[in-house]
Amino acid sequence: MTDYVMEAKNVYKTYQIKGEKKEDYKIVEAVKDVSLLIRKGDIKLIFGPSGSGKSTFLRCMAMLDIPDKGEIYLGDQCLTQKGIDLNKARARIGFVFQHIYLFRHLTALGNVELALRKVLKLPKEEARKRALDALAEVKVTECISKYPSQLSGGQAQRVGIARALARNPDIILLDEPTSALDPELTGEVIDTLRDLAKEGTTMLIVSHEMPFAREVAEEMIFYDEGHIVETGPPSLFFNAPNTDRAKQFMTRIINRTTRE
Amino acid sequence: MGGVPLTLSISILSFFIGIAVGLPLAFIRVYEKEVGFVVDAYEKIWRGIPEIVLMLLFFFGLGPFFPFPFGNPFIVVCFVLGLRSGANQSQIYRGAIHGVGDEQMIAGTSVGFSKWRAIWHIMVPQVFTYSTPGLGSEYALLIKDSAYAYVLSLAEVMKRSIDLRYITGDVIGPYVLAALIYIVLTFPLAFSLDRWGNRRKKKIGL
């Protein structure tokens, strides 16, 4: 019996960016030989320059992008094996998107309820109850019957978190959950994540919210050019990272934060 | 006037056949690219041949050999108009699928839906909303094209007005009446479908 929740083993992913003409395209190596182990209750935070492949890696973890090579494990089940029921596996993984992607035709409650009813096939009352609990947990009980277009960015993202949370997933993967929001709205989302952290939710977060990282992350992962450059506790990165690349990046990001 | 129920039933039935055919075709075209060419061919054939030709072909060409269903003029008319509308609607929905966006599918997959269940629970409701102006005019088109049914002697509005012309000897009156009936049949429905669509679109921010 292991307490491993998820593991990535030597994962590779490249994709093509198509140019104007059919024959000119660029190959981007977004994930090059990345391995990562997550145990129950872990909170790990991936950060690094934009375009470095962090999001692609996170999507590979959720099998929303299929890795070219390498293995992804959910518990002791290998998701990259042929013949595995990926939909079942994805139902056990919560995913929160940078641009939120709520189902536009459903209310906040409907968004959270849908997968409970149609994927987990819970009876109506139980689905309703669990959806309401999840929405209460992210503190959006006052606008559960509003449509996504009527929600503020912060509310919408908290509904997005509730949608991921309600299924009681083994892990929640969050892809820059605050970076598409107005600065004054990031606080409420961060508060929600802080609450989840307190309850011991297993999370892998791509984020540049440094104060938050320092507070809740057990491990920070500096990711650049398709691979993990350095990992360590927040104290390492905030004091003296080992690699020059991480040092540079931290200096820039900290300067930016203090200037604000 | 007596032709109205028949005109309406032809157009409504064809419209629903069109949904049943067009919706799956559109999703196959977008999400099963390997067989997309079949959908393209289907659309080209049905949109490329005048429906009056198709009706005559099916009724007189196949009718004698297959009295059911092709010996029945009502079925032939609905069949031809429905499948033709399916080709049109497939194109309307395809545009709508792109309009709704792939992100909705990704979000659907992320909560554990299979591709086709995500399509059903997440894409289809939004695709309908997105398609409303197009669907309104498609319905109007079907009302108008149901007039071709007169070639198979179905007593719908067109046939009735032609008969009326011979009975009364009035060359203009019956056709003016027919024109008015068609306007009354198409306009309110297309209009209310549009309005419903616009309101719903605003609500869900499409």
Task: State yes or no: pLDDT of A156 exceeds 70.
Answer: yes
CB B174 within 8 A of CB B103: no
Task: Pick the closest to residue B113 from A120, A105, A62 (CA basis).
Answer: A120
DSSP E strand stretches across chain B = none
Please give the average per-residue pLDDT across A82-86, as a whole number.
Answer: 90
Q: How confident is the model at residue A1 (pLDDT cuts 50, 70, 90)?
A: very low
Query: What is the domain range of residue A226?
Result: 4-101+152-158+168-259
In a domain, A108, yes or no: no
The answer to whether B114 contacts chain A (CB < 8 Å) is: yes
Q: Pick the range with the lowest mean pLDDT from A43-47, B79-83, B175-179, B188-192.
A: B188-192
Chain A residues touching residue B121 (CB < 8 angstroms): 114, 118
The answer to whether B137 contacts chain A (CB < 8 Å) is: no
In a domain, A232, yes or no: yes
Please report, for the domain that includes residue A91, its CATH number.
3.40.50.300
Mutation target for A interface from B106, B110, B122: give the one with most A CBs within 10 A.
B110
In a domain, A163, yes or no: no
Query: What is the domain range of residue B28?
Result: 4-204
Chain B residues touching residue A147 (CB < 8 angstroms): 203-205
In a domain, A117, yes or no: no
Give residue for tokens 């869900």: B204
In a domain, A229, yes or no: yes
Q: Which chain A residue is nearest to residue B119, measuring alpha carbons? A: A103
Q: Which of B106, B113, B206 sits opposite A101 (nearest CB)?
A: B106
Residues 6+ apart with CB under 8 A from A81: none
Task: Indicate the number of domains in chain A.
Answer: 1
Q: Pick the range with the lowest mean pLDDT from A104-118, A218-232, A246-260, B18-32.
A: A246-260
Chain B residues touching residue A104 (CB < 8 angstroms): 104, 126, 204-206
pLDDT in tens, A60-72: 999 999 999 999 9
pLDDT in tens, B56-77: 999 999 988 888 888 889 999 9
Nearest-CA distance from A67 to chain B in Å?
Answer: 16
Q: What is the pLDDT of residue A257?
A: 62
The answer to whether A101 contacts chain B (CB < 8 Å) is: yes
* CA distances to A80, A102, A105, B1, B102 from B126, in Å: 32, 12, 6, 37, 12
Nearest-CA distance from A174 to chain B in Å?
Answer: 12
Residues 6+ apart with CB under 8 A from A184: none
Residues paired with residue A7 on neighbouring β-strands, in sequence order? A37, A73
Please report, for the domain that includes residue B97, its CATH number.
1.10.3720.10
Q: Quick check: ipTM above 0.85? A: yes
Chain A residues touching residue B106 (CB < 8 angstroms): 64, 97, 101
Task: Pick the closest to residue A150 from A193, A105, A181 (CA basis).
Answer: A105
DSSP, res B101:
-
Q: How far apart are CA B16 and CA B105, in angstroms?
A: 25
Task: Indicate the number of domains in chain B.
Answer: 1
